[in-house]
A = this chain, B = another copy of it.
């Protein structure tokens, strides 16, 4: 059987598109700009379980995403993490943090309840992010947006 996105990630996130290795998700939580990369490989739980070539590819995709998030949001800090205590499928969080955000300096995982985006907010955020991701990167990584 091929790779299937974990049910909980489907519920909590919006699928934005695909890098060569990973699915790109946006967490449905307007409190923090928060993206997740999920390598499309079966039965992976830990970063070091990925084959080396996949690890390097994930690092490239993470770099690309981090660069776009930084350009758009100018965060005080990015929080990048593979935790997976609740969702065992390997996934890599990328969270934009500001000194004044509601959880600062605590981590976002398990902090209060998600506040869903309005439709207008969602279009604003996804529009900027997808445009930035689709610009030709100097690293040659191709991002394909999901067409509805």
Binding site for B on A (CB under 8 A): 45-48, 55-56, 59, 62-63, 66-67, 70, 77-86, 88, 97, 104-107, 109-110
Cα distance A88–B75 in the bound complex, in angstroms? 13
Interface residues of chain A: helix, strand, loop or mixed (majority): mixed
* Pick from B46, B59, B77, B82: contact of A59, CB under 8 Å: B59
- Shortest Cβ distance from A99 into chain B, in angstroms? 9
- The docked-state distance in angstroms from the alpha carbon of A68 to that of B101 is 36
Q: Is the CB of A85 within 8 A of B62?
A: no
Residues of B near A107 (CB, < 8 A) are 83, 85, 107, 109-110
Contact check, A85 vs B81: say whether CB atoms are below 8 A apart. no
